[in-house]
Structure 1
Amino acid sequence: MNETTPAPGRTPTPIVVTGGTGTLGRLVVKRLLAAGVPVRVLSRSIPDAAARRPGVEYVAADLEQGDGIGAAVAGVDTVVHLAGSGTGDELKARNLVHAASAAQVKHLVYISVVGADRIPVVTKTDRNMFGYFEQKRAAELVVAESGIPHTTLRATQFDELVWLVAGVMAKLPVIPLPRGLRAQPVAAADVADHLVPLALGAPAGLVPDVAGPRVYDAAELLRGYLRAVGKRRPIVRIGLPGRAAKAMLGGANLSPERAVGTRTWEEVVAEQVGQRAVEDGDAELPGIGRRGGGRSRTTGRPVKAGR
Structure 2
Amino acid sequence: MTSPILVTGGTGTIGSRVVPLLTNAGRDVRVVSRHPGTDEPGVVHVEADTVSGQGLTESLAGVDVVLHLAGGAKGDDVAAKNLTAAAHTAGVKHLILISVTGADAMPIGYFRAKAEAERIVATCGVPFTILRSAQLHDFVLPIVRGMGRLPLLPRPGGLRFEPVAVDDVAARLCELTLGAPAGRVADIAGPEVSTLRELADVYYDETGRSHRPSLPVRIPGKVGRAYRAGDNLADDGVQRGSTTWREFLAARHSVGR
TM-score normalised according to structure 2 size: 0.93
**Contact 1:16–1:80 under 8 Å retained in 2:** yes
1:106, CA displacement in angstroms?
1.0
Say whether residues 1:37 and 2:49 are aligned partners. no
Report the Cα distance in structure 1 between the residues aligned to 2:42 and 2:142, rounded to whole angstroms: 30
Q: Which has the higher contact order (CA 8 A, sep 6+)?
A: 2
1:284 alignment partner in structure 2:
none
Report the Cα distance in structure 2 between the residues aligned to 1:138 and 1:245, rounded to whole angstroms: 22
Structure 1 or 2, whichever has the larger Rg, is 1
- Matching residue's letter, 1:177: R
1:101 alignment partner in structure 2:
88
2:113 alignment partner in structure 1:
135
Say whether residues 1:234 and 2:224 are aligned partners. no
Summarize the alignment of residues 145-156 of structure 1 with structure 2, pairs less than 5 Å apart.
Answer: 145-156=123-134
Percent identity between matched residues is 45
Report the Cα distance in structure 1 between the residues aligned to 2:98 and 2:59, rounded to whole angstroms: 19
1:71 alignment partner in structure 2:
58
Say whether residues 1:196 and 2:186 are aligned partners. no
- Partner SS for 1:23: coil
TM-score normalised according to structure 1 size: 0.79
Report the Cα distance in structure 2 between the residues aligned to 1:272 and 1:61, rounded to whole angstroms: 33
Say whether residues 1:169 and 2:156 are aligned partners. no
Root-mean-square deviation over aligned CA pairs: 1.7
1:275, CA displacement in angstroms?
2.1
1:183 alignment partner in structure 2:
161
Relative to structure 1, is the Cα distance of residues 263 and 253 closer, same or farther in structure 2, using a 3 angstrom cutoff? same
Could you say which structure has the higher strand fraction? 2
Say whether residues 1:263 and 2:253 are aligned partners. no
Report the Cα distance in structure 1 between the residues aligned to 2:11 and 2:69, rounded to whole angstroms: 10
1:57 alignment partner in structure 2:
44
Report the Cα distance in structure 1 between the residues aligned to 2:76 and 2:232, rounded to whole angstroms: 19
- Matching residue's letter, 1:202: A
- Partner SS for 1:57: strand
Report the Cα distance in structure 2 between the residues aligned to 1:147 and 1:259, rounded to whole angstroms: 27
1:116 alignment partner in structure 2:
103
Report the Cα distance in structure 2 between the residues aligned to 1:94 and 1:17, rounded to whole angstroms: 16
Report the Cα distance in structure 1 between the residues aligned to 2:199 and 2:151, rounded to whole angstroms: 17
**Contact 1:82–1:110 under 8 Å retained in 2:** yes
Report the Cα distance in structure 1 between the residues aligned to 2:239 and 2:92, rounded to whole angstroms: 32
Which of 244, 247, 252 is the matching residue for 1:272? 252
1:259, CA displacement in angstroms?
4.7
Report the Cα distance in structure 2 between the residues aligned to 1:210 and 1:65, rounded to whole angstroms: 30
**Contact 1:228–1:272 under 8 Å retained in 2:** no
Shift >6 Å, 4+ stretches: none
Number of paired residues?
A: 255
Name structure 2 gaps, 5 residues minimum. none
1:27 alignment partner in structure 2:
17
